[in-house]
Chain A
Amino acid sequence: MDVKECAIKAAMKAGALLKDRFGAPGKVSSKGDEGVVTELDLASDRLIRDEIESAFPDHGILSEESPEKKGSSPGRWIIDPLDGTTNYSHSFPHFAVSIAFEDSGKVTFGVVYDPMRDELFSAEYGKGAFLNGQKIEVSAVKGLGGSLIALDFPHSLASPGSSVLTSFASLQRKVHALRKAGSAALELCYVAAGRLDGYWSSRFHAWDAAAGALILEEAGGRITDLLGGPFTLLSGKCVATNGLIHENIVKAIS
Protein backbone atom coordinates (compact mmCIF):
# COMPACT_ATOMS: atom_id res chain seq x y z
CA MET A 1 0.00 0.00 0.00
CA ASP A 2 1.38 3.43 -0.88
CA VAL A 3 0.94 6.65 1.07
CA LYS A 4 -2.04 7.82 -1.00
CA GLU A 5 -3.94 4.56 -0.67
CA CYS A 6 -3.26 4.44 3.05
CA ALA A 7 -4.44 8.05 3.58
CA ILE A 8 -7.65 7.59 1.60
CA LYS A 9 -8.46 4.24 3.21
CA ALA A 10 -7.91 5.61 6.71
CA ALA A 11 -9.94 8.79 6.06
CA MET A 12 -12.88 6.87 4.65
CA LYS A 13 -12.87 4.25 7.39
CA ALA A 14 -12.72 6.94 10.08
CA GLY A 15 -15.45 8.94 8.31
CA ALA A 16 -17.70 5.88 8.16
CA LEU A 17 -17.22 5.35 11.89
CA LEU A 18 -18.16 8.99 12.60
CA LYS A 19 -21.21 8.83 10.35
CA ASP A 20 -22.33 5.54 11.86
CA ARG A 21 -22.43 7.10 15.32
CA PHE A 22 -23.69 10.50 14.14
CA GLY A 23 -26.52 11.86 16.25
CA ALA A 24 -25.62 9.89 19.35
CA PRO A 25 -22.05 10.81 20.24
CA GLY A 26 -22.66 11.87 23.84
CA LYS A 27 -20.86 14.80 25.34
CA VAL A 28 -17.79 13.58 27.17
CA SER A 29 -15.39 16.19 28.45
CA SER A 30 -14.42 19.75 27.74
CA LYS A 31 -11.02 20.78 26.49
CA GLY A 32 -10.12 24.31 27.44
CA ASP A 33 -12.89 26.85 27.12
CA GLU A 34 -14.25 25.64 23.84
CA GLY A 35 -14.93 22.44 22.04
CA VAL A 36 -16.10 19.07 23.26
CA VAL A 37 -14.02 15.95 22.85
CA THR A 38 -16.11 12.94 22.20
CA GLU A 39 -15.24 9.30 22.46
CA LEU A 40 -15.65 9.14 18.72
CA ASP A 41 -12.87 11.63 18.19
CA LEU A 42 -10.52 9.32 20.05
CA ALA A 43 -11.83 6.22 18.31
CA SER A 44 -11.30 7.87 14.94
CA ASP A 45 -7.76 8.81 16.00
CA ARG A 46 -6.97 5.23 17.01
CA LEU A 47 -8.36 3.83 13.80
CA ILE A 48 -6.27 6.16 11.62
CA ARG A 49 -3.09 5.60 13.63
CA ASP A 50 -3.54 1.84 13.39
CA GLU A 51 -3.86 2.05 9.59
CA ILE A 52 -0.74 4.20 9.32
CA GLU A 53 1.37 2.30 11.83
CA SER A 54 0.67 -1.06 10.25
CA ALA A 55 1.66 0.21 6.79
CA PHE A 56 4.45 2.62 7.78
CA PRO A 57 5.82 1.71 11.22
CA ASP A 58 8.78 4.12 10.94
CA HIS A 59 6.76 7.28 10.08
CA GLY A 60 6.06 10.09 12.54
CA ILE A 61 2.47 11.02 13.45
CA LEU A 62 1.19 14.39 14.62
CA SER A 63 -2.44 14.24 15.68
CA GLU A 64 -4.84 16.53 17.48
CA GLU A 65 -5.79 13.83 19.93
CA SER A 66 -2.53 12.19 21.01
CA PRO A 67 1.08 13.06 21.81
CA GLU A 68 3.31 13.36 18.74
CA LYS A 69 5.03 10.18 17.61
CA LYS A 70 8.53 10.87 16.33
CA GLY A 71 9.46 8.68 13.39
CA SER A 72 12.83 7.46 12.18
CA SER A 73 12.02 8.29 8.55
CA PRO A 74 11.46 11.72 6.90
CA GLY A 75 7.76 10.84 6.53
CA ARG A 76 5.29 12.40 8.96
CA TRP A 77 1.49 12.20 9.05
CA ILE A 78 -0.60 15.12 10.26
CA ILE A 79 -4.05 14.05 11.36
CA ASP A 80 -7.28 15.60 12.49
CA PRO A 81 -9.49 12.61 13.26
CA LEU A 82 -12.54 14.89 13.58
CA ASP A 83 -12.40 18.45 12.34
CA GLY A 84 -15.51 20.29 13.47
CA THR A 85 -15.79 18.64 16.89
CA THR A 86 -18.27 21.21 18.20
CA ASN A 87 -20.51 20.61 15.20
CA TYR A 88 -20.28 16.86 15.65
CA SER A 89 -21.08 17.03 19.34
CA HIS A 90 -24.29 18.92 18.48
CA SER A 91 -25.08 16.65 15.50
CA PHE A 92 -24.67 19.58 13.10
CA PRO A 93 -23.71 17.71 9.91
CA HIS A 94 -20.60 19.66 8.91
CA PHE A 95 -17.36 17.94 9.93
CA ALA A 96 -14.56 15.96 8.33
CA VAL A 97 -11.54 13.73 8.74
CA SER A 98 -8.29 15.36 7.61
CA ILE A 99 -5.07 13.47 6.85
CA ALA A 100 -1.92 14.97 5.38
CA PHE A 101 1.41 13.35 4.58
CA GLU A 102 4.57 15.36 4.97
CA ASP A 103 7.88 14.37 3.36
CA SER A 104 10.93 16.10 4.87
CA GLY A 105 8.78 18.94 6.18
CA LYS A 106 6.72 19.49 3.04
CA VAL A 107 3.12 18.31 2.67
CA THR A 108 2.99 16.17 -0.48
CA PHE A 109 -0.44 14.54 -0.14
CA GLY A 110 -3.65 15.55 1.59
CA VAL A 111 -7.13 14.13 1.92
CA VAL A 112 -10.25 15.54 3.60
CA TYR A 113 -13.34 13.33 3.85
CA ASP A 114 -16.90 14.50 4.66
CA PRO A 115 -18.84 11.31 5.42
CA MET A 116 -22.26 13.00 5.56
CA ARG A 117 -22.04 14.13 1.94
CA ASP A 118 -19.68 11.33 0.94
CA GLU A 119 -17.26 13.88 -0.45
CA LEU A 120 -13.55 13.05 -0.65
CA PHE A 121 -11.25 15.99 -1.40
CA SER A 122 -7.66 15.10 -2.22
CA ALA A 123 -4.49 16.57 -3.68
CA GLU A 124 -0.98 15.44 -4.47
CA TYR A 125 1.73 18.08 -4.73
CA GLY A 126 2.06 19.27 -8.33
CA LYS A 127 -0.78 17.09 -9.59
CA GLY A 128 -3.97 19.10 -8.99
CA ALA A 129 -6.88 18.77 -6.58
CA PHE A 130 -9.85 16.46 -6.81
CA LEU A 131 -13.34 15.93 -5.38
CA ASN A 132 -14.45 12.30 -5.65
CA GLY A 133 -11.98 11.88 -8.47
CA GLN A 134 -13.08 14.95 -10.48
CA LYS A 135 -10.65 17.80 -10.88
CA ILE A 136 -11.62 20.95 -8.94
CA GLU A 137 -10.62 24.58 -9.31
CA VAL A 138 -11.15 27.70 -7.27
CA SER A 139 -13.87 30.17 -8.32
CA ALA A 140 -13.39 32.97 -10.85
CA VAL A 141 -15.08 35.62 -8.66
CA LYS A 142 -13.02 38.78 -9.10
CA GLY A 143 -14.51 41.33 -6.71
CA LEU A 144 -15.34 41.17 -3.00
CA GLY A 145 -18.90 42.35 -3.79
CA GLY A 146 -19.74 39.05 -5.44
CA SER A 147 -17.91 36.84 -2.99
CA LEU A 148 -19.07 34.29 -0.42
CA ILE A 149 -16.56 34.22 2.44
CA ALA A 150 -16.32 31.91 5.44
CA LEU A 151 -14.59 32.88 8.63
CA ASP A 152 -13.67 31.61 12.04
CA PHE A 153 -12.34 33.26 15.15
CA PRO A 154 -12.22 32.56 18.88
CA HIS A 155 -15.48 33.79 20.37
CA SER A 156 -13.64 35.27 23.30
CA LEU A 157 -12.24 37.87 20.89
CA ALA A 158 -15.66 39.07 19.73
CA SER A 159 -16.27 41.69 22.40
CA PRO A 160 -17.78 44.98 21.19
CA GLY A 161 -15.16 47.15 19.51
CA SER A 162 -12.54 44.36 19.36
CA SER A 163 -10.35 44.14 16.27
CA VAL A 164 -11.89 40.82 15.24
CA LEU A 165 -15.39 42.28 15.39
CA THR A 166 -14.30 45.42 13.54
CA SER A 167 -12.77 43.27 10.79
CA PHE A 168 -15.92 41.13 10.71
CA ALA A 169 -18.12 44.23 10.30
CA SER A 170 -15.83 45.72 7.69
CA LEU A 171 -15.79 42.51 5.66
CA GLN A 172 -19.54 42.01 6.07
CA ARG A 173 -20.26 45.31 4.33
CA LYS A 174 -17.98 44.53 1.39
CA VAL A 175 -18.82 40.93 0.50
CA HIS A 176 -21.89 39.20 -0.92
CA ALA A 177 -22.29 37.21 2.29
CA LEU A 178 -20.34 35.71 5.20
CA ARG A 179 -20.61 32.16 6.46
CA LYS A 180 -19.47 30.60 9.71
CA ALA A 181 -19.73 26.85 9.46
CA GLY A 182 -17.12 25.54 11.91
CA SER A 183 -14.81 23.13 10.05
CA ALA A 184 -11.50 24.64 8.91
CA ALA A 185 -10.62 21.61 6.79
CA LEU A 186 -13.94 21.67 4.92
CA GLU A 187 -13.90 25.44 4.53
CA LEU A 188 -10.48 25.21 2.83
CA CYS A 189 -11.78 22.45 0.55
CA TYR A 190 -14.88 24.50 -0.28
CA VAL A 191 -12.66 27.39 -1.36
CA ALA A 192 -10.70 24.87 -3.45
CA ALA A 193 -13.93 23.68 -5.09
CA GLY A 194 -15.27 27.20 -5.72
CA ARG A 195 -18.16 26.91 -3.25
CA LEU A 196 -16.56 29.65 -1.20
CA ASP A 197 -14.40 32.40 -2.62
CA GLY A 198 -12.38 32.90 0.53
CA TYR A 199 -11.80 31.86 4.13
CA TRP A 200 -10.39 33.89 6.97
CA SER A 201 -9.41 32.17 10.21
CA SER A 202 -7.86 33.51 13.37
CA ARG A 203 -7.64 30.14 15.00
CA PHE A 204 -6.47 26.95 13.45
CA HIS A 205 -3.93 24.31 14.24
CA ALA A 206 -1.52 22.50 11.96
CA TRP A 207 -3.78 19.43 11.86
CA ASP A 208 -6.84 21.48 10.79
CA ALA A 209 -5.13 22.96 7.77
CA ALA A 210 -2.33 20.64 6.61
CA ALA A 211 -4.38 18.71 4.05
CA GLY A 212 -6.78 21.56 3.19
CA ALA A 213 -3.97 24.02 2.42
CA LEU A 214 -2.42 21.65 -0.14
CA ILE A 215 -5.83 20.93 -1.68
CA LEU A 216 -6.49 24.66 -1.95
CA GLU A 217 -3.13 25.43 -3.56
CA GLU A 218 -3.41 22.53 -5.97
CA ALA A 219 -6.86 23.87 -6.99
CA GLY A 220 -5.23 27.18 -7.93
CA GLY A 221 -5.93 29.04 -4.69
CA ARG A 222 -3.69 31.07 -2.44
CA ILE A 223 -3.12 30.87 1.31
CA THR A 224 -1.14 33.34 3.41
CA ASP A 225 -1.00 34.68 6.94
CA LEU A 226 -3.36 37.55 7.81
CA LEU A 227 -0.99 40.17 6.41
CA GLY A 228 -0.42 38.42 3.11
CA GLY A 229 2.94 36.96 4.20
CA PRO A 230 3.97 33.31 3.84
CA PHE A 231 1.65 30.74 5.37
CA THR A 232 3.03 28.05 7.63
CA LEU A 233 1.23 25.31 9.49
CA LEU A 234 2.29 26.91 12.74
CA SER A 235 1.02 30.41 11.94
CA GLY A 236 -2.38 29.77 13.56
CA LYS A 237 -4.10 32.32 11.33
CA CYS A 238 -4.75 32.42 7.62
CA VAL A 239 -6.42 34.00 4.65
CA ALA A 240 -7.24 31.48 1.91
CA THR A 241 -8.84 32.56 -1.34
CA ASN A 242 -9.27 31.91 -5.03
CA GLY A 243 -6.26 34.24 -5.47
CA LEU A 244 -8.25 36.95 -7.26
CA ILE A 245 -9.72 38.55 -4.14
CA HIS A 246 -6.78 37.84 -1.84
CA GLU A 247 -5.38 41.34 -1.46
CA ASN A 248 -8.90 42.76 -1.04
CA ILE A 249 -9.59 40.49 1.92
CA VAL A 250 -6.23 41.13 3.53
CA LYS A 251 -6.92 44.85 3.22
CA ALA A 252 -10.50 44.60 4.50
CA ILE A 253 -9.55 42.78 7.71
CA SER A 254 -6.35 44.63 8.56
Chain B
Amino acid sequence: MRAEIRKIAIETAIGAGRLLKEKLGGVNRVEFKGAIDLVTEADRSSERFIMGEVQKAFPGHGILSEESPEVVSKSPYKWIIDPLDGTTNYSHAFPFFCVSIAFEEAGEVTFGAVYDPMLDELFTAEKEKGAALNGAPIRVSGTNTLDRSLLATGFPYDLRSTKDNNLDNFSAFSLKAQAIRRAGSAALDLCYTACGRFDGYWEMKLRPWDVAAGALIVAEAGGVLTDFKGGPFSIYGKECLASNGLIHESMTRVLTGR
Protein backbone atom coordinates (compact mmCIF):
# COMPACT_ATOMS: atom_id res chain seq x y z
CA MET B 1 0.00 0.00 0.00
CA ARG B 2 2.84 2.43 0.78
CA ALA B 3 3.93 2.85 -2.81
CA GLU B 4 0.32 3.50 -3.79
CA ILE B 5 -0.13 6.07 -0.97
CA ARG B 6 2.99 7.87 -2.11
CA LYS B 7 1.89 7.82 -5.73
CA ILE B 8 -1.62 9.15 -5.05
CA ALA B 9 -0.36 11.86 -2.65
CA ILE B 10 2.23 13.12 -5.13
CA GLU B 11 0.06 12.88 -8.22
CA THR B 12 -2.89 14.65 -6.62
CA ALA B 13 -0.71 17.38 -5.10
CA ILE B 14 0.83 18.12 -8.50
CA GLY B 15 -2.49 17.80 -10.33
CA ALA B 16 -4.27 20.12 -7.90
CA GLY B 17 -1.36 22.58 -8.00
CA ARG B 18 -1.50 22.78 -11.79
CA LEU B 19 -5.23 23.36 -11.61
CA LEU B 20 -4.65 26.25 -9.18
CA LYS B 21 -2.01 27.72 -11.44
CA GLU B 22 -4.28 27.52 -14.48
CA LYS B 23 -7.12 29.24 -12.65
CA LEU B 24 -4.91 31.95 -11.17
CA GLY B 25 -5.44 34.42 -13.97
CA GLY B 26 -9.19 34.22 -13.51
CA VAL B 27 -9.29 34.77 -9.78
CA ASN B 28 -11.74 37.53 -9.09
CA ARG B 29 -14.84 36.01 -7.58
CA VAL B 30 -14.27 35.44 -3.88
CA GLU B 31 -16.65 34.79 -1.05
CA PHE B 32 -16.03 35.71 2.56
CA LYS B 33 -16.03 33.10 5.27
CA GLY B 34 -15.79 34.96 8.55
CA ALA B 35 -14.47 38.50 8.40
CA ILE B 36 -11.22 37.97 6.61
CA ASP B 37 -10.88 34.33 5.63
CA LEU B 38 -11.29 33.94 1.90
CA VAL B 39 -12.21 30.93 -0.05
CA THR B 40 -12.10 30.83 -3.79
CA GLU B 41 -13.65 28.68 -6.41
CA ALA B 42 -10.20 27.34 -7.18
CA ASP B 43 -9.84 26.16 -3.59
CA ARG B 44 -13.02 24.11 -3.94
CA SER B 45 -12.06 22.67 -7.32
CA SER B 46 -8.68 21.65 -5.96
CA GLU B 47 -10.36 19.92 -3.04
CA ARG B 48 -12.91 18.12 -5.22
CA PHE B 49 -10.09 16.82 -7.40
CA ILE B 50 -7.95 15.56 -4.50
CA MET B 51 -10.81 14.01 -2.53
CA GLY B 52 -12.14 12.32 -5.66
CA GLU B 53 -8.79 10.72 -6.44
CA VAL B 54 -8.18 9.63 -2.85
CA GLN B 55 -11.67 8.13 -2.48
CA LYS B 56 -11.32 6.32 -5.78
CA ALA B 57 -8.02 4.73 -4.75
CA PHE B 58 -8.76 4.22 -1.04
CA PRO B 59 -12.54 4.17 -0.49
CA GLY B 60 -12.27 3.17 3.18
CA HIS B 61 -9.88 5.92 4.35
CA GLY B 62 -10.82 8.94 6.41
CA ILE B 63 -10.30 12.46 5.00
CA LEU B 64 -9.79 15.68 6.92
CA SER B 65 -9.80 18.61 4.53
CA GLU B 66 -10.03 22.34 5.08
CA GLU B 67 -13.12 23.00 3.02
CA SER B 68 -15.38 20.01 3.81
CA PRO B 69 -16.82 18.12 6.76
CA GLU B 70 -14.49 15.32 7.86
CA VAL B 71 -14.95 11.92 6.20
CA VAL B 72 -14.79 9.68 9.27
CA SER B 73 -13.46 6.17 8.80
CA LYS B 74 -13.16 3.04 10.93
CA SER B 75 -9.75 2.36 9.41
CA PRO B 76 -6.56 3.73 11.04
CA TYR B 77 -5.88 5.70 7.85
CA LYS B 78 -6.59 9.36 7.38
CA TRP B 79 -5.67 11.85 4.68
CA ILE B 80 -5.14 15.41 5.85
CA ILE B 81 -5.52 17.89 3.03
CA ASP B 82 -5.11 21.58 2.43
CA PRO B 83 -6.23 22.04 -1.17
CA LEU B 84 -4.87 25.62 -1.20
CA ASP B 85 -2.57 26.83 1.54
CA GLY B 86 -2.03 30.58 1.18
CA THR B 87 -5.58 31.41 0.10
CA THR B 88 -5.16 35.11 0.79
CA ASN B 89 -2.10 35.22 -1.46
CA TYR B 90 -3.93 33.28 -4.13
CA SER B 91 -6.90 35.62 -4.03
CA HIS B 92 -4.53 38.50 -4.81
CA ALA B 93 -2.49 36.51 -7.34
CA PHE B 94 0.55 36.89 -5.06
CA PRO B 95 2.57 33.86 -6.20
CA PHE B 96 3.23 32.09 -2.90
CA PHE B 97 0.81 29.25 -2.21
CA CYS B 98 0.72 25.47 -2.37
CA VAL B 99 -1.19 22.21 -2.02
CA SER B 100 -0.52 20.14 1.10
CA ILE B 101 -1.37 16.45 1.46
CA ALA B 102 -0.49 14.26 4.44
CA PHE B 103 -1.23 10.63 5.18
CA GLU B 104 -1.79 9.57 8.77
CA GLU B 105 -1.65 6.04 10.16
CA ALA B 106 -3.04 5.45 13.65
CA GLY B 107 -2.58 9.09 14.56
CA GLU B 108 0.91 9.48 13.13
CA VAL B 109 1.72 11.22 9.84
CA THR B 110 3.84 8.84 7.75
CA PHE B 111 3.88 10.63 4.39
CA GLY B 112 3.64 14.24 3.34
CA ALA B 113 3.71 16.13 0.03
CA VAL B 114 3.65 19.89 -0.51
CA TYR B 115 3.58 21.27 -4.06
CA ASP B 116 4.23 24.85 -5.17
CA PRO B 117 3.02 25.07 -8.77
CA MET B 118 4.50 28.53 -9.41
CA LEU B 119 8.10 27.42 -8.87
CA ASP B 120 7.32 23.79 -9.72
CA GLU B 121 8.72 22.61 -6.39
CA LEU B 122 7.56 19.36 -4.82
CA PHE B 123 8.56 18.75 -1.20
CA THR B 124 8.06 15.21 0.12
CA ALA B 125 8.90 13.15 3.17
CA GLU B 126 8.27 9.62 4.31
CA LYS B 127 8.58 8.68 7.96
CA GLU B 128 12.15 7.60 8.70
CA LYS B 129 13.18 7.88 5.06
CA GLY B 130 14.19 11.53 4.81
CA ALA B 131 12.84 14.55 3.01
CA ALA B 132 13.30 15.66 -0.59
CA LEU B 133 12.76 18.59 -2.94
CA ASN B 134 11.96 17.43 -6.47
CA GLY B 135 13.47 14.08 -5.54
CA ALA B 136 16.78 15.38 -4.19
CA PRO B 137 17.44 15.00 -0.43
CA ILE B 138 17.13 18.18 1.64
CA ARG B 139 18.46 19.21 5.04
CA VAL B 140 17.86 22.07 7.44
CA SER B 141 20.42 24.91 7.58
CA GLY B 142 23.55 25.02 9.71
CA THR B 143 22.96 28.55 11.00
CA ASN B 144 23.61 28.48 14.72
CA THR B 145 22.86 31.99 15.97
CA LEU B 146 19.68 34.06 15.83
CA ASP B 147 21.46 37.15 14.54
CA ARG B 148 22.41 35.30 11.37
CA SER B 149 19.00 33.66 11.02
CA LEU B 150 16.26 34.31 8.49
CA LEU B 151 13.00 33.53 10.29
CA ALA B 152 9.43 33.21 9.10
CA THR B 153 6.12 33.73 10.83
CA GLY B 154 2.44 34.26 10.22
CA PHE B 155 -0.30 36.16 11.97
CA PRO B 156 -3.64 34.64 13.03
CA TYR B 157 -6.84 35.50 11.17
CA ASP B 158 -8.47 36.70 14.37
CA LEU B 159 -5.78 39.29 15.04
CA ARG B 160 -8.35 42.08 15.01
CA SER B 161 -10.30 40.61 17.90
CA THR B 162 -7.58 39.38 20.24
CA LYS B 163 -4.44 40.64 21.93
CA ASP B 164 -2.89 37.21 21.58
CA ASN B 165 -1.86 38.16 18.06
CA ASN B 166 1.87 37.41 17.76
CA LEU B 167 2.89 41.07 17.57
CA ASP B 168 4.93 40.81 20.78
CA ASN B 169 6.84 37.82 19.40
CA PHE B 170 7.36 39.56 16.09
CA SER B 171 8.80 42.57 17.86
CA ALA B 172 11.08 40.45 20.04
CA PHE B 173 12.43 38.45 17.09
CA SER B 174 12.83 41.59 14.96
CA LEU B 175 15.43 42.82 17.40
CA LYS B 176 17.33 39.52 17.45
CA ALA B 177 17.16 37.87 14.02
CA GLN B 178 18.92 38.90 10.82
CA ALA B 179 15.51 39.29 9.18
CA ILE B 180 11.94 38.01 9.32
CA ARG B 181 9.78 37.06 6.37
CA ARG B 182 6.02 36.90 6.38
CA ALA B 183 5.09 35.24 3.12
CA GLY B 184 1.66 33.85 3.97
CA SER B 185 1.76 30.05 3.54
CA ALA B 186 2.40 27.94 6.63
CA ALA B 187 3.03 24.77 4.63
CA LEU B 188 5.65 26.46 2.44
CA ASP B 189 7.23 28.20 5.43
CA LEU B 190 7.75 24.75 6.97
CA CYS B 191 9.17 23.31 3.74
CA TYR B 192 11.51 26.29 3.40
CA THR B 193 12.71 25.62 6.95
CA ALA B 194 13.24 21.97 5.98
CA CYS B 195 15.47 22.88 3.01
CA GLY B 196 17.42 25.59 4.85
CA ARG B 197 15.94 28.69 3.19
CA PHE B 198 14.56 29.68 6.57
CA ASP B 199 16.39 28.86 9.78
CA GLY B 200 13.27 28.88 11.92
CA TYR B 201 9.52 29.45 11.81
CA TRP B 202 6.87 30.07 14.42
CA GLU B 203 3.12 30.54 14.19
CA MET B 204 0.10 30.16 16.45
CA LYS B 205 -3.51 29.10 15.93
CA LEU B 206 -2.77 26.80 13.03
CA ARG B 207 -5.00 23.96 11.89
CA PRO B 208 -3.93 20.34 11.24
CA TRP B 209 -4.11 20.68 7.45
CA ASP B 210 -1.74 23.69 7.51
CA VAL B 211 1.08 21.72 9.12
CA ALA B 212 0.50 17.95 8.78
CA ALA B 213 2.70 17.43 5.71
CA GLY B 214 5.15 20.29 6.38
CA ALA B 215 5.91 19.14 9.94
CA LEU B 216 6.93 15.67 8.76
CA ILE B 217 9.06 17.24 6.03
CA VAL B 218 10.88 19.40 8.63
CA ALA B 219 11.41 16.44 10.98
CA GLU B 220 12.70 14.21 8.19
CA ALA B 221 15.07 16.98 7.03
CA GLY B 222 16.72 16.98 10.45
CA GLY B 223 14.74 19.84 11.97
CA VAL B 224 13.05 20.13 15.35
CA LEU B 225 9.37 20.87 16.08
CA THR B 226 7.89 21.82 19.44
CA ASP B 227 5.30 24.14 20.92
CA PHE B 228 6.47 27.61 21.95
CA LYS B 229 7.72 26.37 25.31
CA GLY B 230 9.78 23.55 23.85
CA GLY B 231 7.18 20.90 24.73
CA PRO B 232 5.89 18.22 22.34
CA PHE B 233 4.48 19.37 19.01
CA SER B 234 1.17 18.08 17.70
CA ILE B 235 -0.49 18.93 14.41
CA TYR B 236 -3.68 19.18 16.48
CA GLY B 237 -2.10 21.70 18.88
CA LYS B 238 -2.21 25.45 18.53
CA GLU B 239 1.46 26.39 18.40
CA CYS B 240 4.17 25.47 15.97
CA LEU B 241 7.84 26.23 16.43
CA ALA B 242 10.05 24.65 13.78
CA SER B 243 13.77 25.19 13.35
CA ASN B 244 17.04 23.69 12.22
CA GLY B 245 17.51 22.54 15.81
CA LEU B 246 20.60 24.69 16.37
CA ILE B 247 18.64 27.87 17.14
CA HIS B 248 15.68 26.11 18.72
CA GLU B 249 16.45 26.90 22.33
CA SER B 250 17.18 30.54 21.47
CA MET B 251 13.76 30.69 19.84
CA THR B 252 11.90 29.13 22.78
CA ARG B 253 13.65 31.64 25.04
CA VAL B 254 12.33 34.53 22.96
CA LEU B 255 8.83 33.02 22.74
CA THR B 256 8.59 32.45 26.49
CA GLY B 257 10.07 35.86 27.26
CA ARG B 258 13.06 34.40 29.09
Q: Which residues of A contact B (CB under 8 A)?
A: 27, 34, 86-87, 90-94, 116-117, 139, 148, 155-156, 158-160, 165, 168-169, 172-173, 176-182, 190, 193-197
Contacts and interface: CB of A to CB of B under 8 A. Distances in A.
Q: Which 7 A-B pairs have the closest CB atoms?
A: A158-B174, A180-B182, A90-B150, A148-B92, A155-B174, A92-B197, A195-B94
A178 B171 contact: no
A159 B165 CA distance: 16
Nearest to B155: A172
Contact of B175 (A93, A156, A197): A156
A173 B177 CA distance: 24
A182 to B, nearest CB: 6
5 contacts: A160-B172, A168-B167, A177-B36, A178-B155, A196-B92
Interface of B: 36, 38, 88-89, 92-96, 118-119, 141, 148, 150, 155, 159-160, 165, 167-168, 170-172, 174-175, 177-184, 192, 195-199
A208 B159 CA distance: 32
Contacts of A90: 141, 150, 196-199
Contacts of B168: 160
A34 B178 contact: yes
Contacts of B141: 90
Contacts of A181: 96, 181-183
B171 A158 contact: yes
A169 B197 CA distance: 27
Contacts of B165: 172
Contacts of B118: 117
Contacts of B174: 155, 158, 165
B181 A155 contact: no
B109 to A, nearest CB: 26
Contacts of B119: 93, 116-117
A160 B174 CA distance: 10
A93 B184 CA distance: 15
Q: Is the contact region of chain A dominated by helix, strand, or loop, or is it mixed?
A: loop
Contact of A159 (B36, B89, B159, B171): B171
Nearest to A116: B119
Contacts of A159: 171, 175
Contacts of A155: 174-175, 177, 179-180
Contacts of A156: 175
A195 B94 CA distance: 5
B95 A117 contact: yes
Given A92-B198, A181-B183, A190-B94, A176 B178 contact: no
A177 B184 contact: yes
Contacts of A176: 36, 38, 88, 92
Given A116-B119, A195-B93, A178 B182 contact: yes
A177 B148 CA distance: 27
A197 B92 CA distance: 9
Given A148-B88, A155-B174, A156-B175, A173 B184 contact: no
A158 B93 contact: no
B175 A172 contact: no
A91 B133 CA distance: 14
Contacts of B192: 92
Given A93-B197, A179-B94, A160 B183 contact: no
A144 B195 CA distance: 35
A182 B94 contact: no
A193 B172 CA distance: 33
